[in-house]
Structure 1
């Protein structure tokens, strides 16, 4: 049996890594991939380990999160290599026949691993022209080099929120088309229409808990399948607000919307102003309280420490304002 060994940070895993790991997989009988991380690195080590494990289920993938020296002080730093020789032996106690990688360190690592055979794969990046540094600094410019399992880490999640009849659905749908991606429609609207025949008078805590749970699930699906950014028409924030204004105190207390109010869930929140004409719909009830509800939205966003920006305007101006905000957020 030929045992292969790869050691790397995979920060993040990209298609250059995958090319090297595919070569390694094809040239040994059993491949061990040691994913190494330290606390100070920008991408959590456990997440990197999960990415590699997802993409290489046939390999033995191990996570090493020990605080270890990352580079030798010079070419004579024997203490550095003594430490890493011990790490290889600790995590791969069997004999190593081949050590794979894309950098020159592979030669010395192979020697420390018991005089294994070094295989340096695509050092010049001729097969896959990408690096971890390039992906971290400009993920959207290198999007095609990022595996699908990694893309959600870089996908921006934008919440479009606001009171009734302020254009949330239209803006979400049109922004998704503009950015060539997906969006999450308001689940409550669909449920009330299809399951309740627009019977707003009988809304209760059970219904609102369903809204939160299903919308949350739909957002997660969109997030995993988006193109760089995804948009959400409403969130549990709306359910929390309307449970307090539409239900009595006892029934509102049964609504679990707070469980879904995570201010880290969205990278950007746009609060739409009620400065466009009211459009009548069966599910809408606050025509004469638009400004009051707008202030309640602002208070609730601040109460739960969401960072948000306000956006207004009529027609195309409104869309362009929101699009400009999203572009600026992604550029940052």
Structure 2
């Protein structure tokens, strides 16, 4: 049996790594992948380990989160190599026949691993011209080199929120079209229409808890399958507010919307002003309280420490204003 060994940070795993790992898999009978991380690195080691387990279920994937020296001081740093020789032996006690990688250190690592055969794959990055540094600093420019399992880490979430009849659904749909991605419709709206025949009088805490959970899960599905950014029409913010305005005080205490109010969940929150004409719908009840409800939204977002941008205007101007805010946010993310 030929045993192969790969050691790396995989921060993040990208298609250059996958090319090297595919070569390794094809040229040994048992491949061990040691994912190494330290606490100060920007991408959690546990996440990198999970990505690798997902992509290479046939390999023996091991996670090393020990605080170890990352680079030798010079070619005569014997202590560095003594430490890493011990690490390799600890995590791969069996004989190693081949050590694979894309950097020069593979030669020395193979030597320290008992005289294994070094295999350096695509060192010049000609087959897959990408690096972990490039992906981290400009993920959207390198999107095609990022595996699907890794893309959600870089995908940005945008929440469209605001009171009734302020254009949330239209905005989420239009932004998804502009950015060629997906969006999450308001689950409560669909549920009330399909399951309750728009019977607003009998709404209770159970219904609102269902709204929170299912909308949250649908957002996560969209996030895992989005193209760089995903948009959400409403969130638990709405449920929290309407529980307080539509239910009795006792019934409102049974609504668990607060469990889903996480300001860190969204990279951008767009609060739409109610400055467009009111459109009558069966589920809408606050036509004469639009400004009051808008202030309630602002107060709630402030209370739960959401950062948000207020957006007004009509038609294409309104859409372009929101699109510009999304582009600016993505530009900041894509510039390191």
Name the TM tier (shorter chain). Answer: over 0.9
- Matched residues in 2 for 1:208 and 1:305: separation? 22
Q: Could you say what the CA RMSD is over the residues aligned between the two structures, in angstroms?
A: 0.5
Aligned match of 2:258: 258
Distance 1:87 1:308 in 2: 47
Deviations for 1:211-241, whole angstroms, at most 9, x for unmatched residues?
0011011101100000000000000110000
Match of 2:272 in 1: 272
CA deviations over 1:287-309 (Å, ceiling 9, x no partner): 01000000000000011111111
Could you report, residue by residue, the CA deviation over 1:6-30 in whole angstroms, capped at 9, with x for unpaired residues? 0000000000000000000000010
Equivalent positions of 1:1-332 (< 5 A) are 1-332=1-332
CA–CA distance in 1 between the matches of 2:209 and 2:54? 32
- Could you report, residue by residue, the CA deviation over 1:267-324 in whole angstroms, capped at 9, with x for unpaired residues? 1100001111111111000001000000000000011111111101011110000000
Q: Within 2, Cα distance between the matches of 1:305 and 1:323? A: 23
After superposition, what is the alpha-carbon deviation per residue over 1:68-92, rounded to whole angstroms, capped at 9, x for unaligned? 1000000110000000000000000
Equivalenced residue count is 332
Supply the distance in 1 between the matched residues of 2:198 and 2:50 (Cα, whole angstroms).
44
Distance 1:285 1:158 in 2: 26
3-state SS of 1:122 partner? coil
TM-score, with normalisation over the residues of structure 1? 1.00
User: CA offsets per residue over residues 151-205 of structure 1, 9 Å max, x none?
Assistant: 0000000000000000000000000000000000000000011111111111100
d(CA) in 2 for partners of 1:118, 1:72: 19
- Give secondary structure in 1 for the equivalent of 2:28: coil
SS of the counterpart of 1:181?
Answer: coil
What SS class does the counterpart of residue 264 from structure 1 fall into? helix
4+ residue stretches of structure 1 with deviation over 2 A? none
Distance 1:53 1:282 in 2: 49
Q: How far did residue 264 of structure 1 move?
A: 1.1
Please give the per-residue CA displacement for 1:36-93, whole angstroms capped at 9, x wherever unaligned.
0011111001100100110000000000001110000001100000000000000000
| 1:231 counterpart SS class | strand
